[in-house]
Amino acid sequence: MSLAAETRELAPMTEGDLDAVLAIEAATAAFPWQRGHFADSLKAGYSGWTLRVGGQVVGYAMIMAAVDEAHLLNIAIDPALQRRGLGRWLLVRAMDAARQSGMFSMLLEVRPSNEGARALYAALGFAEIGRRKGYYPAADGREDAIVMQRALVEVQA
């Protein structure tokens, strides 16, 4: 797929997108979410977004709103298209959507071993605010989560 010639589109995730989302999830996660995780998130009213290039789903993000904070639950790009700026593009648009819906900050967890994601989040202004011990399943037991946060709007005094 030639990204230079294709239009990127952010679209709300629907049940009809789940086959494509699950294929990306299975290809990117050692312990992937199942269909029920995505379907239940959509039914609960979480903001699910797809990134489409040339009409094809190539990435997604799932965000839960809690009062005035957006919690990035899951985000992924098709492995064949990673390292081309699509993850950054998707996350920036998802942050914009959260800001427009009244969220003041975004919170996320990331594996310490996921250096690419950590670098992207840091480049976009996320800062480490804590750790969750044994948060993620791992091949050798459990892996901690680094908790990161970023303001979405400046607070006016």
Report pLDDT digits (tens) over 81-121. 999 999 999 999 999 999 999 999 999 999 999 999 999 99
Report pLDDT digits (tens) over 59-89. 999 999 999 999 999 999 999 999 999 999 9
pLDDT higher than threshold 60 for residue 4? no
- Domains of the chain (ranges; CATH) run 8-151 (3.40.630.30)
The mean per-residue pLDDT over the stretch 128-141 comes to 92
CA 109 from centre of chain? 10
Indicate whether this model's pTM tops 0.85. Answer: yes
The mean per-residue pLDDT over the stretch 126-138 comes to 94
* The dihedral sign for the CA sequence 117, 119, 125, 127: positive
CB atoms under 10 Å from CB of 4, counted, come to 5
pLDDT band at 14 (very low <50, low <70, confident <90, very high): very high
Q: Is 121 a catalytic residue?
A: yes
Q: Is 143 a catalytic residue?
A: no
DSSP result, 28-52: H-SSPPPHHHHHHHHHTT-EEEEEE
**pLDDT at site 3:** 58
User: Which residue is catalytic, options 25, 46, 60, 121?
Assistant: 121
The identity of residue 82, as a single letter, is: Q
pLDDT higher than threshold 90 for residue 153? no
CA 143 from centre of chain? 19
pLDDT higher than threshold 70 for residue 46? yes
Pairing of strands 56-66, 69-77: antiparallel
Whose CA is closest to 72, among 51, 48, 53?
48
pLDDT higher than threshold 70 for residue 154? no
Which residue, chain included where needed, has tokens 């998707």?
90
